[in-house]
Chains A and B, each alone.
Chain A
């Protein structure tokens, strides 16, 4: 069992669809993150949650809506996406927000058609 599990691994959606990405961590961590990885671009931090509270929104468009119901689960709700939103979306967790290493899931490969 991996520490951070993301589902689905692959997702194809139309621009008018609504879908959700799920992340679950089994490490007892208190901080969770969403990153976006596009081709030819550095990893972009999207959202940070500490103890279920959102502490950072890195100027992400409102068509991406995160949800953190508890310290173990993190969702990314998607609606009316654009083709340029196609990317690998990575979830990560860390013990605390104080600078320890983050553990990553395997990512969800999202394609918007």
Chain B
């Protein structure tokens, strides 16, 4: 069965600083991995996805993530934080096991605070 763990429920950075949000996964099959962002009272918006192509994935708004199989990680980074990046971020893995429903299994979420 697939699962996702996000390390740190809250991350605070200064504007212009590096953003690093951590995600580790568990999967019995090669995983499909996703990062979503959620602004207050909104739905989830896809930032980027990994589907077994290039291990370094670039997404929207300057975010990128690197798939590291040896570390079972898929951390999200952005070189320079902007105030508008303040939101909640979710890492997810797709259910591609025996049931293969395509459902997404989400981590607990990380709230990113950006200080001026």
Interface residues of A (CB under 8 A from B): 4, 6, 31, 33, 42-43, 45, 48, 50, 55-56, 88, 90, 92, 94, 96-107, 109
Main secondary structure of the interface of A (DSSP, over half): strand
Partner of B109, one of A42, A50, A55, A98: A42
CA distance A94 to B104 in the complex (A): 10
Q: Which residue of B lies closest to A91 (CB)?
A: B43
Cβ contacts under 8 Å, B105 to chain A: 45
Main secondary structure of the interface of B (DSSP, over half): loop
Asked if B108 is an interface residue, CB under 8 A from chain A, the answer is yes
CA distance A55 to B94 in the complex (A): 16
How many A-B pairs have beta carbons closer than 8 Å: the answer is 66
Size class of the B contact interface (CB-based, 8 Å) = 20 to 34
Q: How far is the CB of A2 from chain B (nearest CB, A)?
A: 9
Tell which of B14-22, B63-71, B73-81, B95-103 binds the partner: B95-103
As a 0/1 sequence over residues 83 to 107 of chain B, the CB contacts with chain A under 8 angstroms (1 = contact) are 0000000100011100111111111
A104 touches B44 (CB 8 A): yes
Cβ contacts under 8 Å, A56 to chain B: 99, 101, 103
Q: When A99-B32, A99-B95 are in contact, do A50 and B101 touch as well, CB less than 8 Å?
A: yes
